[in-house]
Structure 1
Amino acid sequence: MEGAIKLPEKDQEKTQKSANAVTNKEIAGKIAGHIGTGKNAKDSFIWMTITWSFYIATGISLLVFGRSFFEVEEGESLLDSIVQVWSIFVPIITLALGYAFGKGE
């Protein structure tokens, strides 16, 4: 190509690095927009864990409750089923709360 400007190799490497940096900044910007940055990101993960644990456990409990209106095997208690569901999520919530309040400063 006539009249095309050819950059020296060092300048081409800088151009490629800056293009990669822009892409990385865009990805980091999207993630930071959701969870925050630094200390806020750590706290955000904790509270997201607690929130989603409550949502999922409540949803499964409602499904188990809804199932109780249909035929169920004899000897299977609604309360026992709900206790089994929450016995999975309560330790996760406890662990997250312990980390959130116990890390101290």
Structure 2
Amino acid sequence: MKMGISASVGRCGVNNQEDVLFVQSALNAYAKKHASNTFLLKIDGICGEKTTQAIFNFQKNHVGIAIPSARIDPQGRTLHYLTAHQPHLNASRYQTQIKKSEAR
């Protein structure tokens, strides 16, 4: 599994399905480990309102961005923070989600 995204995800982002799946999985993994009061996202590869809100909340509450963009960029601070704090994202679950979404 790659540890990143190829294009932006979130508000006004490119929102490629594979990148959105990665971000959704990473946000859920972070929430389970570090933020138990955070709602979990449906991992579906669609960057809807809940995913955008989760990115916004993560930026504001965990990354410490004063004015969150609700977008994660490939080389940006948010992605770096998200991946640096959980180096062992579950690769098999991520791959399963991709296969399920491609079957639609």
Larger Rg: 1
TM-score (norm 2): 0.28
TM-score (norm 1): 0.28
Greater RCO (Cα-Cα under 8 Å, separation 6 or more): 2
Structure with more helix by fraction? 1
